[in-house]
């Protein structure tokens, strides 16, 4: 318990005097169009204004909204939020055939990347087709990043195509290694190598989904092998599917628990994300 108290204190002390950026949150309303068989289907609204109030209460200055898979390419509500609030950036879900002009208009509105979710995909599309290579090239031309959500074991099969395209890559949720294999998971190891090559980042987020003990081990291994410069803290607020059990503060504490010092905290909780998403 004493240990936990110290962590809370560390987070509280940190956030009052430094830059904090939340690299992963969602906003939505209950009446937005939802895909057939969505992964989640929240029956409540979580508005940008509600989220900004939570950010303010926790000393978080900036944030990146992640496109949510239930609403597919209905990015409209999120983009409206980016237009209103310059503290926010976002990633969108789009078809690979999207026009360059559409992407450029989105960029002017604060979009910085494309979310690609293969987490529930039975089959991963062929990323070497002209349509996909053209798409990834356009993202690179715009200096956007690919925001990839995939289960760790399948990461090695898609990494080469993304790396060959020369586009920046941000992996969700510690790269989601197989829970039984942990840091030994081939996907986790492939992620470390990709980070070392310099164009890949990873979010240290959704610890409440993956298990706090587990993610502490993932986090320590990331710091040990690749250092702090490519790690981005994200809350995954409003914790869809786990709203009651998780708190915003807890998502900070979960990462703070394995931070060795304030210099690392500054990078993981703020500086890295500011550079990647806001510059």
Partner 1 sequence: MTLPADIPAVDCHAHVYTLDMPMSGEAWHKPPADATTEQYLQTLDDHGVGYAVMAAASIYGDYNDYMIEATRKHKRLRTTVIVEPTTDPYVLRQMRDDGVVGVRLQWRSLKTTPDLSSPEYQRFLRRVRDLDWHVQLHDEGARLPPAIALLEAAGVKLVIDHFGRPTADLGTACPGFQTILKTVANGRTWVKLSAGFRLKSPQVAVDCARGLLAHAGPERLLWGSDWPFAAFESSMHYQAAIDGLKAWVPDAQARQRIGGETAFKLYFA
Residues in 106-135 at the binding interface with partner 1, rule: CB under 8 A? 129-130, 133-134
User: Measured from the CB atom, is 111 or 237 closer to partner 1?
Assistant: 111
Q: How far is the CB of 165 from partner 1 (least distance, A)?
A: 9
Q: How far is the CB of 276 from partner 1 (least distance, A)?
A: 23
- Whether the Cβ atoms of residue 147 and residue 114 lie closer than 8 Å to each other: yes
101 binds partner 1 (CB under 8 A): yes
Q: Which sign, positive or negative, has the C-alpha torsion 199, 205, 211, 214? A: positive
Residue 243 CB neighbour total at 10 angstroms: 13
Alpha carbon distances (Å) from 48 to 84, 157, 170, 234, 250: 9, 36, 23, 16, 20
Q: How far is the CB of 48 from partner 1 (least distance, A)?
A: 28
Which string of b and e fits 56-72 if b means at least 16 CB within 10 Å?
eebbbebbbbbbbbbbb
The correct pick among 49, 56, 95, 141 for binding partner 1 (CB under 8 A) is 141
- Whether the Cβ atoms of residue 71 and residue 30 lie closer than 8 Å to each other: no
Residue 31 CB neighbour total at 10 angstroms: 8
Q: How far is the CB of 200 from partner 1 (least distance, A)?
A: 19
Q: Peptide bond before 238: cis, by omega within 30 degrees of 0?
A: yes
Site string for partner 1, 190-219 (x = CB under 8 A): ------------------------------
User: Measured from the CB atom, is 87 or 133 closer to partner 1?
Assistant: 133
249 binds partner 1 (CB under 8 A): no
- Whether the Cβ atoms of residue 230 and residue 201 lie closer than 8 Å to each other: yes
143 binds partner 1 (CB under 8 A): no
Tell me the residue ranges of DSSP E strands in the chain: 21-25, 62-65, 88-92, 111-117, 145-149, 168-171, 200-205, 231-234
User: Measured from the CB atom, is 138 or 147 closer to partner 1?
Assistant: 138
Q: How far is the CB of 80 from partner 1 (least distance, A)?
A: 20
DSSP string of 127-148? TTSHHHHHHHHHHHHTT-EEEE
137 binds partner 1 (CB under 8 A): yes
The correct pick among 49, 73, 99, 242 for binding partner 1 (CB under 8 A) is 99
* Total residues in contact with partner 1, by rule CB under 8 A: 13
Tokens of 31: 């009446």
Q: How far is the CB of 86 from partner 1 (least distance, A)?
A: 25
Residues in 147-176 at the binding interface with partner 1, rule: CB under 8 A? 166
6 binds partner 1 (CB under 8 A): no
Tokens of 242: 């786990």
User: Measured from the CB atom, is 36 or 101 closer to partner 1?
Assistant: 101
Q: How far is the CB of 69 from partner 1 (least distance, A)?
A: 26
**What is the three-class DSSP state of 45?**
coil
Q: How far is the CB of 108 from partner 1 (least distance, A)?
A: 13
Chain residues binding partner 1 by CB under 8 A are 99-102, 129-130, 133-134, 136-138, 141, 166
């Amino acid at each position: 318990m004493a240990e936990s108290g110290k962590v809370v204190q560390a987070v509280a002390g940190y956030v009052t005097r430094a830059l904090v950026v939340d690299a992963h949150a969602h906003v939505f309303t209950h009446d937005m169009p939802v895909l057939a068989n969505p992964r989640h289907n929240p029956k409540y609204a979580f508005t940008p204004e509600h989220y900004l109030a939570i950010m303010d209460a926790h000393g978080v200055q900036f944030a990146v909204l992640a496109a949510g898979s239930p609403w597919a390419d209905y990015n409209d509500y999120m983009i409206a939020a980016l237009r209103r609030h310059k503290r926010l950036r976002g990633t969108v879900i789009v078809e690979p055939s999207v026009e360059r002009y559409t992407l450029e208009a989105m960029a002017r509105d604060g979009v910085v990347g494309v979310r690609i979710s293969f987490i529930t995909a039975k089959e991963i599309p062929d990323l070497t087709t002209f349509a996909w290579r053209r798409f990834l090239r356009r993202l690179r031309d715009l200096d956007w990043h690919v925001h990839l959500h995939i289960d760790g074991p399948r990461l090695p099969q898609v990494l080469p195509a993304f790396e060959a395209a020369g586009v920046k890559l941000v992996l969700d949720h510690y790269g989601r290694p197989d829970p039984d294999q942990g840091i030994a998971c081939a996907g986790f190891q492939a992620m470390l190598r990709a980070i070392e090559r310099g164009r890949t980042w990873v979010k240290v987020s959704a610890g409440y989904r993956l298990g706090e003990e587990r993610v502490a081990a993932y986090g320590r291994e990331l710091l040990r092998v690749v250092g702090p410069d490519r790690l981005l803290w994200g809350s995954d607020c409003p914790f869809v599917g786990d709203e009651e059990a998780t708190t915003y503060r807890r998502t900070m504490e979960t990462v703070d628990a394995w931070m060795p010092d304030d210099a690392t905290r500054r990078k993981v909780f703020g500086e890295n994300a500011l550079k990647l998403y806001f510059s």
